[in-house]
Amino acid sequence: MLHRAVALNAPLIDATPDEFRVALVEWIDARGTELQPTYHDHGTTAQLLDHQRDLQRLLFDDGWMRWGWPTSVGGIGGSPLFRAILGEELTTRGLVHSAAWSMTEVLGPAVVHFAPALATEVVPPMLRGDERWCQGFSEPDAGSDLGSLRTTARHSGDDWIIDGQKLWTSWAHHAQRCIVLARTEDGVAGSRGITAFFVDMGSPGIDVRPLQTMADVDEFCEMFFDAVRVPDSRVIGKRGEGWAVAQHILACERGPIFWQRGGWLLRHLAEVAQLTEPGDARAEQLLANAYAQVIALRARSRATQRLVAAGHLRGADSSIDKVLIAAADQAVFDAARLVFAGEIELDDSDRADRFRKEWMYSRAATIYGGTSEIQRDIIANRLLDLPRGS
């Protein structure tokens, strides 16, 4: 299988991003409808993730999913920009949902960076879609203030024993692995004394309970850990230094992943524009405003992709990308709602259902990955050095 992928992709070893894109688009076009989702409108969470798995297998086996990843984790190497181009081409064509696609880009890089030995074992099946991962950070009383998390892990022999509760864990009920933050050091509060663990979701003592979003989708879950054993070899990074792992993951979640989401937004905006009556000044105004916001995001996001490709993952700076995506996301689906006045509230058509779910999901854009209030706080304090209010 690897020989086939390398043979297929060998001419791309020295390709520019544009040449890579041309070759990828040829491959996508040659596949025809084979890559299209078979489910209706948005599909269920299970359908969406199963389709993504099937797509990832095709992409991995033909090499596309391996570009931009190090050879040590089953990649072919090459610029990380190739990963961004792959995500963009798939989401812009509606072949995969941007939200689910981003998980490889949020969690994968941290494991490669902080746990290279473990990564050689666990990253290839994740890239191929054979395994899904989830992110166990938030807790009932620890969201914005993540450093106040209370899940604990105590050392026992060669294992750690995890106890506690996580909340809002996306796709946990469909995941085989989870990156869990837990407090490991006695007498140390806040962001210090936290360790990151790579946990098998099939371990005894894990109870996962799906929650419905307001769009009636079972996207996220609450998770309970009751004396869950995790071996020493599954610590990501160093004991007590999980905050650095968390910051790496949050930097990915707030910046680089929005390149593909931007493609998804442009696709939806184009769909609304095509259905707008020519000469409808109000609709044109709404669309123009949304377009300006998406393009502002794209400009920023393009620069972010280039920095990441050059090895500079930004911390606090990624809060700017996060504020921009939240504004653009809501502007696009607010425009859709007003242009299709009444339709997305009342209609039962596939289009109404798709846009209704997207509009509702866009409300979460100011929350997931850290709320817009928190991002503005980071920008004010850490980037602009503004004085804190009294």
Ligand X SMILES: Cc1cc2nc3c(=O)[nH]c(=O)nc-3n(C[C@H](O)[C@H](O)[C@H](O)COP(=O)(O)OP(=O)(O)OC[C@H]3O[C@@H](n4cnc5c(N)ncnc54)[C@H](O)[C@@H]3O)c2cc1C
If one asks whether residue 144 binds ligand X (CB under 6 A), the answer comes out as yes
> How far apart are the C-alpha atoms of 302 and 172, rounded to whole Å?
31
Q: Whole-number minimum distance, CB 141 to ligand X, in Å?
A: 8
> How far apart are the C-alpha atoms of 42 and 29, rounded to whole Å?
23
If one asks whether residue 368 binds ligand X (CB under 6 A), the answer comes out as yes
Please identify which residue in 137, 198, 258, 333 interacts with ligand X, judged by CB under 6 A.
137
Closest to ligand X by CB, 89 vs 222, is 222
Q: Whole-number minimum distance, CB 309 to ligand X, in Å?
A: 25
> How far apart are the C-alpha atoms of 77 and 28, rounded to whole Å?
21
In 3-state terms, what secondary structure has residue 387?
coil
Q: How many residues bind ligand X (CB under 6 A)?
A: 19
> How far apart are the C-alpha atoms of 221 and 214, rounded to whole Å?
14
Q: Which parts of the chain fold into alpha helices (H)?
A: 2-9, 17-31, 45-61, 81-92, 98-101, 103-114, 116-127, 242-254, 258-274, 281-309, 318-339, 343-346, 350-363, 372-378
CB under 6 A: which stretch of 17-25, 80-88, 118-126, 133-141 binds ligand X? 133-141
Q: Whole-number minimum distance, CB 181 to ligand X, in Å?
A: 8
Q: Whole-number minimum distance, CB 91 to ligand X, in Å?
A: 17
129 Rama class: left (phi>0) / alpha (psi -120 to 50) / beta = left
CB under 6 A: which stretch of 116-124, 129-137, 232-240, 270-278 binds ligand X? 129-137
Bridge-partner residues for 320, per DSSP? none
Would you say the C-alpha torsion 305, 306, 312, 317 has a positive or negative sign? negative
Return the number of other C-beta atoms located less than 10 Å from residue 267's C-beta: 15
CB under 6 A: which stretch of 83-91, 162-170, 224-232, 268-276 binds ligand X? 162-170
Paired tokens of 290: 């949304």
Please identify which residue in 135, 195, 293, 375 interacts with ligand X, judged by CB under 6 A.
135
Please identify which residue in 358, 364, 375, 378 interacts with ligand X, judged by CB under 6 A.
364
CB under 6 A: which stretch of 122-130, 134-142, 227-235, 277-285 binds ligand X? 134-142
> How far apart are the C-alpha atoms of 228 and 200, rounded to whole Å?
10
Q: Whole-number minimum distance, CB 23 to ligand X, in Å?
A: 33
If one asks whether residue 374 binds ligand X (CB under 6 A), the answer comes out as yes
If one asks whether residue 138 binds ligand X (CB under 6 A), the answer comes out as yes
List own/partner pairs for 24-29 with CB under 8 A and 24 or more apart: 24/64, 24/85, 24/86, 24/89, 25/89, 27/62, 27/64, 28/89, 28/90, 28/93, 28/95
Paired tokens of 216: 């009636």
If one asks whether residue 52 binds ligand X (CB under 6 A), the answer comes out as no
> What is the per-residue binding string for ligand X in 207-226, x denoting contact by CB under 6 A?
-------------x------
If one asks whether residue 373 binds ligand X (CB under 6 A), the answer comes out as yes
Closest to ligand X by CB, 9 vs 165, is 165
Closest to ligand X by CB, 324 vs 364, is 364
Binding-site ranges for ligand X (CB under 6 A): 134-138, 143-144, 168-170, 220, 364, 367-368, 370-371, 373-374, 377
